[in-house]
Structure 1
């Protein structure tokens, strides 16, 4: 399928799904619509309805592609084996579920298409604002249909959102002692569908992520890289969806900002 036709089909599916599932339930959840999935993590009826609708729609768009959805993988870990398939859809049906569950933004939908473990296309949709970020490997990035280039904030010190949610105590202490003093720290949104656009749009300059699950990061990493920023492992190696259980990822609004942070992180191990 041609890229333009693919983008149009995926965008239409995301908008329709958001309207019929996420926005239908937003600020309308009953207690029985929210279930604990893990420590400090929940799933809602909106997650499951959105994933079902997205999976059905993506299967129609590219029937030859396997599908890895966040909730399907949670129910059956063998689904993750498809991340290295010749073609694979990756679905985060509701990114920022913890925010959504208490009736506040940000939240969004993340979709990616991977080929043998490498992301080749990604889409990030914000249902409340309609913002759509799109990227294709080697072809660039778009924001609401317009070609887009990432921009740093221009602030000094640079603005950093450092996620400590999944960091062990020793590494957390090292980050706060050796990395944080070089940056102006801001709160994380607990939503990759918001964090990656914040980096590219000059709201934040850098982010550090510990957990790097494919549905959270595949689309955002590609969007940032294709827009002229840089997202990669701290050692500079590329992010691959079939190695998403490995910890550690840096996102930056420019290669220079990435290099400066990566060098500092190399000193703390």
Structure 2
């Protein structure tokens, strides 16, 4: 796994250096388009995914590569994602932030085998922070092993992604959480949210949409550091298994507390 980690992390840093950072705060108007209203895609997403797809396919011959942008153009790319060896790519997580010239944003890659998350990488191109995890081997930030560090305030710090909920459900969650959780803004970037859960900034995160490229790398990073991600009903989050929503928390105990507050 060490050799593979070296190859993948080097590839991600190449994308950051050659494609991503030269265009940060330097995008032309024609280099940003909307996939759907409010959901932009940039030339950086497209060029990053093309380079990563080609390189990862050569790195493990026979493995499939599933990229966010390829799947947005052809949803059948996701068919059978839970079978065989699959690379999952988010070439620019936090595209909206990037297109607005603000941080955070990230490059994320996961390696899965028959739906099991085997390894994950999250690179913050602005700081060169590399978060990496391998199943059964732990979580690392720039090669230093890390464990989750819950916050020490009177209430757990929770970042709830409420944007995709209807008004009634959104208000219900806010009311349920009012005296039980310390609600904070989300970073609009899963590649930042998962490190926040591990590194002592947030205790709990709630997600409505759980695309594999957003959650496969970070979910493994969280779990290998001592945290938990699962569907709100407690069902494990697994690649290729349908489900809606997920709770992620710095510890299993915090996960239980969050589930009771928000869904009990």
Normalising by structure 2, we get a TM-score of 0.97
Deviations 1:213-254 (A, max 9, x none): 00001011110000001111112221112135x221111111
Whether the 8 Å contact between 1:107 and 1:191 is mirrored in structure 2 is yes
Unaligned runs of 5+ in 2: none
Post-superposition offset of 1:265: 2.5
The residue aligned with 2:262 is 265
| SS of residue in 2 equivalent to 1:181 | coil
The residue aligned with 2:253 is 256
Q: Given the alignment of the two structures, is residue 110 of structure 1 paired with residue 99 of structure 2, yes or no?
A: no
Post-superposition offset of 1:181: 2.8
The residue aligned with 1:138 is 136
Find the aligned partners of 2:34 and 2:241 in 1 and give their Cα distance: 26
Find the aligned partners of 1:7 and 1:236 in 2 and give their Cα distance: 31
| SS of residue in 2 equivalent to 1:111 | strand
The residue aligned with 1:47 is 45
**Higher mean displacement: 254-263 or 94-103:** 254-263
| SS of residue in 2 equivalent to 1:182 | coil
RMSD: 1.1
The residue aligned with 1:191 is 189
Whether the 8 Å contact between 1:35 and 1:44 is mirrored in structure 2 is yes
Unaligned runs of 5+ in 1: none
Q: Given the alignment of the two structures, is residue 59 of structure 1 paired with residue 61 of structure 2, yes or no?
A: no
Runs of 4+ in 1 over 3 A off after TM superposition: none
1:76-91 matches, within 5 Å, as 76-91=74-89
Find the aligned partners of 2:80 and 2:31 in 1 and give their Cα distance: 29
Whether the 8 Å contact between 1:66 and 1:85 is mirrored in structure 2 is no
| SS of residue in 2 equivalent to 1:185 | strand
Instruction: Say how many residue pairs are matched.
Output: 264
Find the aligned partners of 2:144 and 2:244 in 1 and give their Cα distance: 33
| SS of residue in 1 equivalent to 2:179 | helix
Find the aligned partners of 2:132 and 2:200 in 1 and give their Cα distance: 17
Structure 1 residues 180 and 214: alpha-carbon distance in aligned structure 2, compared to 1, 3 A threshold: farther
Q: Given the alignment of the two structures, is residue 35 of structure 1 paired with residue 33 of structure 2, yes or no?
A: yes
